[in-house]
Amino acid sequence: MYISPDQFPLYLAGVLAGVALTIVLLSVTGKRSKYIAMGLSTAGFAFAITFIVLQALGYFGTVQNNPTSSSLFATDWVSYIFGVAVLLVALLVGLTAVDYFSDVIGTDVTTFYALLVFTTIGTLLLIFSANLLMMFVAWEMMSIPSYVLTGFKKKDPASNEAAVKYFVISAFSSAVLLYGISLIYLLTGNLSIYQIVRLMPNGMTVSGMTNFQPIGLLALTFFVAGFGIKLAAVPFHMWIPDAYQGAPTIVSALLSTATKGATFAPAIRVLFVMFSSSTFQPDWTLTFAVLSVLSMTLGNFAALTQKSVTRILAYSSIGQAGYILIGVAAGGQLGLTGSFFHILNYATMQSCAFLAAALIIKNVGSDNLDSFNGIGKRVAVAPMALTLSLLALGGFPPLSGFWSKFVLFLSAFQSTSNLSWLAIVAIINSFVSIAFYVRIVKHMYLDEGNSTTKLVETNGFKASLILASAIIVGTGIYPGPLIEFATEAARSFMSEISSTQLIERLAFILHSL
Amino acid sequence: MIDEDTIAFVVLSVLTIGAALLSLETRQVVYGAIALAFSFLGIAGLFILLDATFVALFQIIVYVGAIAVLIIFTVMVVTKEVETEAKREPFKPLAIGIATIVALAVGIVASLSNLNSKYPVGPTYAAKDIGIQLTEVYYIPLIILGLILGASVVGALTLVRTDRN
Amino acid sequence: MIYAAWLIWAVPIISVPFIPLIGMVSQRGRNWFAVLASALTAFIGFYLAASFSSGMTESSIIWLPIFKVPVQVLVDGTSVLLAAFISFLSFLIVLYSVGYMKGEKGQSRYYSLILLFVGAMLGLVMAGNLIQLYFFWEIVGICSAFLIAFWYDKPEARRAGLKAFVVTRFGDIALFIAVLIVLANLKTTNYASIFSAIGSKPFGTNTVLLVGILLLIGAMGKSAQVPLHVWLPDAMEGPTPVSALIHAATMVNAGVYLVIRMFPLFSYSSTLLVLVTIVGLTSMIFGAACAVVSEDLKRILAYSTISQLGIMFASIGVGTTLGATATYHLISQGLFKALAFLAAGSVITATGSRNVEELGGLRKSMKYTYIGFLFAMLAMSGVPPLIGFWSKDWIVSTALTSNVVAAILIALSSVLTTIYSFRALFKVFYGKSKLPNEPKESSTVMIVPIMTLVVSVTVGWLVLDYQRLVPFNITIDPLTIGMSLAAIASGIGIVYVAFSSRTAQTQSLMGRNAPLIALRKYLLEGLGFDKFYGFLYSRIVLPLAKTSSYLESGWLGVNMGLMLASVLLIIFLVALKVI
């Protein structure tokens, strides 16, 4: 069977859309439908993962499409690894939702699955999109169902507040992004990311302007702000703690990993392809270095004094965004490899942490640190998975987080723009972050709880947590393959830029002389 | 320097922004909805100014004609006339200040790029061209928009449905 | 032969998951499985040592695709000797644990962590590059923290575990930065490649100096050198076999090993060697002084470890023997310190107390334990012909030829060493028993390791002389022997006068003299570094944390306003670089 890589994302989205619509129809059949919905969505995600893997292996013909074509999609290694990561998170969340919402009526849980699949379609399309219009539509496809997911606990005021907050801020990010897109269209008259990069120098003839750099920079700023909001980078992080705390905890797992990962892919495309044009020669090293330092420092230090586990995890998510941005600031193949690799690891670590916390919070009824006391004696899998994922987030060997941080810090040391200071700040931050990660572990295992009754661990949660923990430990012991994938993805970017840009850059320099 | 286009632009901008502010600030929901409709009208006027008549018509039919009216009806049918209570908003002046500075900054950057003097009048698109673009080039986003609509309906139904056993 | 170098650390690590699994079926089976695994490790260690011929062999598998970082084992004299030593000592300690931990809960956790601890330490020693070393370095750190906090019912144990975790992280950061700098500059962290690159273009004098200092800080954290020593005395809250492991076989030796391994780098710059010497001498003196006043039996031993490790650092810094003296002393210290801890553990299980003031007169009731502790203290003071004599006097002899000041200081510290050793010995085993009941001698499974170590301490130097892995050609200056014998004699004399014949006068002197009281208090508090770190936390970290969370008001309007302001900030940042 041959599938054109230009069309591949459509097949993917089509299958999942079919699943989602079937689930919607199912919801009229009654309370038991939630189990069918869980089965269907799990099967859908698993199928999509297989589909992507087969495509990546060249089973359907050409592996990658020519990104400079007029296709709306870029089917390349970046799309594959991010797609698999996002689908994996969705799968993990889907496995736990029936158990987590055991006190919600069945048909509502069924619609939860429908919305989960809808938002996953959005994230996938966002990852694959190579056209600014497509990107914006996918962005909305990802966002709108996730507002509902955030406010899914209808009777919980915190959940409602979180949904409203998320909605308003997210609308702001959409608006800013759209502004950026419109400015780029103004400059170039085109919307395809891989074509704009060529058109930028010719933009002079399209608009007849000589001094368009300010407009381009303004657009860049708007893109940074729009993506920054979803990436939870300081100073666009303010909504994060409230939203993650108020939302159902398994939805926080989805928001903090799938949404963030899916935002990162187009952000890299826009920054490293579209804005790599010779006309700007934009040097955003300082910008991203500052954002990175702010995110790390604020996220990690604010987490120190928090009393709620979900808030700690939310701040940790901000801090981790800071690490990811190191790679963007450092740039180059190593920097991008580090960022990609860290996002992949972060997806499993953070979602595993949130899901394990979700199970405990559901059972003890509070996300307060003190209510986690002595949990280690009451259940087996959840605290173990939480400990593993927290230590991995803290960057301890032999867990996955260690290696990706290692590559990121190394990329800062290797960077041509002398970013050693950034690496050192990051390492100190990483040291500080241990304090609150270990604090949760201490509460779970070392402190005496006021109850010793055993808690129930349902199979859905168990399966999901064990799967995530296995990935964390496995990657930690043998990180080779994942690093290879990340390197491959980074290479596809760098070669694209170098081949199309080097000559133009030279020509522009000569021209300006 | 000041021609009729500029005057029209200023008037329409004031209408749009003023109506938007009014819709946010008024304590009565119905007035808010009506103000919103005026804001939409102002945007339609701006589109006409940009020679995008088709978009302007669309704006009037969809936003003013359908959405605003729908909102007004909903408000009148569903809620009783309640005045929302005045809340303490100590940061309002600050927020207004920051917003003004941002707007000014954007304006300054835009004027630095001598956009107004050098930008030639672009091609005007007829409704037919837009249709062709939508169905031949951007048909995928169009389908996705349909999916978004579906997802929104499912989400909205989930949120408004009351539990009854 | 080479596969033994892989197996030696793989065996204990692979057996970790089996511990809880077997524990579900049979408790006894699990304990003896752990003993079996460590016995197998020790056997592999001896096999490796016996089959080692000469030179340096490496074997590797690609691990990270970036810069082709491999997992590799480095087989040379030092690594094989230390691996054999560590596996042997760990085996004895695991065997001892079976008796010591009898009836404790959470033993599955205990044995899994112990095996992981030992396996990681062996992996660290056999590692062929810095990245791999760092990988295991961290695992060693985590395991030690969890083991120290093993009795989590006790708040002190939890605190001590967290403290060990946090303080050693200081050093870890430095080591991590050093590894990154080396990798960024040289694209490899293989030892041989590093050494061959020293002094050439990307790895010039300044870089070497920086990397050396960072490595030294890393080693100081792990090996508990002043001022990063604060975790070690508190680490006593863990079970005694754990202390024995940390002090004798694993954790603290990692730092010394790092410096020995990187000796070619340190010796490139004389500044670095002087720094190593200063760190060592400082820790040696402060550790010994704290040990003299401490009242907790295990704390005395802990401070003594700090002091002995200081001697090792100083001997490396003196720099005449390429770290061989330090290797020798590391093994010697490991043997007598393990013996001291196992004997102390035996005392603690029998009496339930660790305070030397509460104990006394155990000589008769616990004969074997007494012999064990006696030999440990004799070896620690450097009484010939026990192993401690050879290692210490060799260090002094070599130092005499190059750095007389260091040599004299080390010889003088022997006085303090003898004082604290014999003070502990007298207080615990002589005098009148202050305990309500007659304590009973410990079980055979605990006595066997103690007696094995007594033999090792006595004849170990013969074995070390015989082996050809690291050829120690010990030459001891007669002057040194005279100096150390004088130091031991004066030390014993002081102890005899102060704690045996004229106890009352000593106590009244200590009670009256204000500077002495202050000094004693200062030493008991562990040099006041705890206070300093507390200050650092409350004055710098906490305010930063509070400011950070204060920015988080939760008001939507404020959030939006700040975000708009941030857009401005970014415009500014972008403009700064470009326009």
Helix, strand, coil share (%) of chain A residues, nearest 5:
80, 0, 20
Cβ-Cβ contacts under 8 Å, C568 against chain B: 98, 101-102, 105
Both tokens of B68, joined, read 């605003």
- Interface contact C557-B109, CB threshold 8 A: no
Q: What is the model's pLDDT at position C91?
A: 93
Domain match, B72 and B137 both = no
Residues C406, C277 contacting (CB under 8 angstroms): yes
Burial (CB count <10 Å: 0-12, 13-18, 19+), residue B87: exposed
C561–B contact, CB cutoff 8 A: yes
What does the alpha-carbon distance between residue C79 and residue C157 come to, in Å, rounded to a whole number? 33
Residue A449 has pLDDT above 60, yes or no: yes
Q: Which chains touch B (3 or more CB pairs under 8 A)?
A: A, C
Cβ-Cβ contacts under 8 Å, A37 against chain B: none
Residues A369, A419 contacting (CB under 8 angstroms): no
Residue B137 CB contacts under 8 Å (≥ 6 apart), including other chains: A70
Q: Which of A290, A304, A424, A434 to mutate to test the interface with C (most CBs of C within 10 A)?
A: A304
User: Could you say which DSSP state residue C525 is in?
Assistant: T
Q: What is the model's pLDDT at position B87?
A: 64
Q: What is the model's pLDDT at position C576?
A: 65
Q: Which of C60, C538, C570 to mutate to test the interface with A (most CBs of A within 10 A)?
A: C570
CA distances from C96 to C99, C240, C298, C448 (A): 6, 10, 17, 8
Q: What band does A203 get if pLDDT is binned at 50, 70 and 90?
A: very low
Q: What is the model's pLDDT at position A512?
A: 45
In a domain, A436, yes or no: yes
Q: Between C135, C162, C552, which is nearest A241 by CB? A: C552
Which of A192-196, A394-398, B82-86, B124-128 shows the lowest mean pLDDT across its residues? B82-86
In a domain, A366, yes or no: yes
Q: What is the model's pLDDT at position A402?
A: 92
In a domain, B102, yes or no: no
- Interface contact B154-A141, CB threshold 8 A: no
- Interface contact C578-A217, CB threshold 8 A: yes
Q: What is the model's pLDDT at position A472?
A: 94
Q: Between B145, B155, B161, which is nearest A145 by CB? A: B155
Q: Could you give the percent of chain A with pLDDT greater than 90?
A: 45
Which of A243-247, A311-315, A442-446, B148-152 shows the lowest mean pLDDT across its residues? A442-446
- Interface contact A217-C574, CB threshold 8 A: yes
Cβ-Cβ contacts under 8 Å, B92 against chain C: 557
Q: What is the model's pLDDT at position A89?
A: 95
Largest pairwise CA distance in chain C: 87
What does the alpha-carbon distance between residue C94 and residue C250 come to, in Å, rounded to a whole number? 13
Residue C329 CB contacts under 8 Å (≥ 6 apart), including other chains: C308, C311, C312, C315, C391, C392, C395
- Interface contact B92-C567, CB threshold 8 A: no
Mean pLDDT by 10 residues, chain C (579 residues): 85 91 87 92 91 74 79 87 92 89 84 93 91 92 88 81 84 92 88 86 86 93 87 85 87 91 89 92 90 86 92 86 84 91 88 80 83 91 86 87 86 88 86 74 83 88 80 81 86 81 69 72 71 77 77 73 79 64
CA distances from A49 to A98, A256, B57 (A): 22, 20, 44
The separation between CA B131 and the C-alpha centre of its own chain, rounded to angstroms, equals 22
- Interface contact B99-C571, CB threshold 8 A: no
**Number of structural domains found in chain B:** 2
- Interface contact C579-A213, CB threshold 8 A: yes
Q: Between B114, B154, B165, which is nearest A115 by CB? A: B154
The separation between CA A454 and the C-alpha centre of its own chain, rounded to angstroms, equals 35
Q: What is the pLDDT of residues B105-120, one digit of tens each?
A: 777 776 666 555 444 4
Residue B12 CB contacts under 8 Å (≥ 6 apart), including other chains: B42, B45, B46, B49
B160–C contact, CB cutoff 8 A: no
- Interface contact A238-C153, CB threshold 8 A: no
Task: Determine the residue type at A204.
Answer: M
Both tokens of C300, joined, read 């005395």
In a domain, A336, yes or no: yes
- Interface contact C561-B109, CB threshold 8 A: no
What does the alpha-carbon distance between residue A39 and residue A295 come to, in Å, rounded to a whole number? 39
User: Could you say which DSSP state residue A276 is in?
Assistant: G
Length of chain B: 165
Domain boundaries, position A469: 283-477
> How close C568 comes to chain B (CA, Å)?
6
In a domain, B32, yes or no: yes
What does the alpha-carbon distance between residue A97 and residue A358 come to, in Å, rounded to a whole number? 10
Q: What is the pLDDT of residues A59-72, one digit of tens each?
A: 887 777 776 677 88
CATH of the domain at B79: 1.20.120.1200
In a domain, A318, yes or no: yes
Task: Determine the residue type at C255.
Answer: G
Cβ-Cβ contacts under 8 Å, A225 against chain C: 563, 566-567, 570
Residue A220 has pLDDT above 90, yes or no: no
Domain boundaries, position B157: 126-165
Q: Which chains touch A (3 or more CB pairs under 8 A)?
A: B, C
User: Could you say which DSSP state residue B28 is in?
Assistant: B
Question: What dihedral angle (degrees, nearest 10) is formed by the CA atoms of A361, A233, A257, A297?
Answer: -60
- Interface contact A298-C548, CB threshold 8 A: yes
- Interface contact C545-A301, CB threshold 8 A: yes
Helix axes C130-148, C155-186, angle to 10 degrees: 170
In a domain, B96, yes or no: no
Question: How many residue pairs bridge chain A and chain B with CB atoms within 8 Å of each other?
Answer: 96
Residues A401, A394 contacting (CB under 8 angstroms): yes
Domain match, B87 and B134 both = no
C571–B contact, CB cutoff 8 A: yes
What does the alpha-carbon distance between residue C147 and residue A289 come to, in Å, rounded to a whole number? 39
* More confident of the two residues B106 and A295: A295
- Interface contact C557-B98, CB threshold 8 A: no
User: Could you say which DSSP state residue A211 is in?
Assistant: -
The separation between CA A243 and the C-alpha centre of its own chain, rounded to angstroms, equals 16
User: Could you say which DSSP state residue A274 is in?
Assistant: G
Total-model pTM: 0.88
Cβ-Cβ contacts under 8 Å, B120 against chain A: 207-208
Q: Between B91, B99, B109, which is nearest C555 by CB? A: B91
In a domain, B101, yes or no: no
Residue B164 has pLDDT above 70, yes or no: no
B101–C contact, CB cutoff 8 A: yes
Q: Which of A165, A339, A446, A487 to mutate to test the interface with C (most CBs of C within 10 A)?
A: A446
- Interface contact A137-B144, CB threshold 8 A: yes
Residue A364 has pLDDT above 60, yes or no: yes
Burial (CB count <10 Å: 0-12, 13-18, 19+), residue C213: middle
Residue A479 CB contacts under 8 Å (≥ 6 apart), including other chains: A341, A400, A403, C63, C64
Domain match, B26 and B73 both = yes
Give alpha helix (H) positions in A189-248: 193-207, 213-231, 239-246
Q: What is the model's pLDDT at position C366?
A: 84
Residues A48, A66 contacting (CB under 8 angstroms): no
DSSP assignment string, A411-439 = HHHH-TT--HHHHHHHHHHHHHHHHHHHH
Q: Between C555, C558, C568, which is nearest B102 by CB? A: C568
Q: What is the model's pLDDT at position A244?
A: 92
Q: Between B106, B112, B151, which is nearest A115 by CB? A: B151
C565–B contact, CB cutoff 8 A: yes
Which of A115-124, A267-276, A344-353, B103-112 shows the lowest mean pLDDT across its residues? B103-112
- Interface contact A176-C576, CB threshold 8 A: no
- Interface contact B92-C557, CB threshold 8 A: yes
* More confident of the two residues C475 and A355: A355
In a domain, B50, yes or no: yes
- Interface contact A398-C184, CB threshold 8 A: no
Residue A509 has pLDDT above 80, yes or no: no
What does the alpha-carbon distance between residue C341 and residue C373 come to, in Å, rounded to a whole number? 8
In a domain, B64, yes or no: yes
Question: How many residue pairs bridge chain A and chain C with CB atoms within 8 Å of each other?
Answer: 162
What does the alpha-carbon distance between residue A9 and residue A4 come to, in Å, rounded to a whole number? 10
**Number of structural domains found in chain A:** 1
Q: Between A221, A445, A446, which is nearest C567 by CB? A: A221
Q: What band does A499 get if pLDDT is binned at 50, 70 and 90?
A: very low
Smallest CA-to-CA distance from C330 within C392, C415, C284 is with C392
The complex's ipTM works out to 0.86
Q: What is the pLDDT of residues A107-122, one digit of tens each?
A: 788 989 999 999 999 9
Residue A506 has pLDDT above 50, yes or no: no
Domain match, B87 and B146 both = no
Domain match, B80 and B9 both = yes
Q: What band does A206 get if pLDDT is binned at 50, 70 and 90?
A: very low
What does the alpha-carbon distance between residue C231 and residue C160 come to, in Å, rounded to a whole number? 7
In a domain, A311, yes or no: yes
Q: What is the model's pLDDT at position C365?
A: 82
**Domain limit, last residue, from B45, B65, B91:** B91
**Nearest residue on chain A to B146, judged by CA atoms?**
A141
| Residues paired with C62 in a beta bridge | C70
Q: Which of C563, C564, C570, C578 to mutate to test the interface with B (most CBs of B within 10 A)?
A: C564
Number of neighbouring beta carbons within 10 Å of residue B67: 14
Cβ-Cβ contacts under 8 Å, C134 against chain A: 397
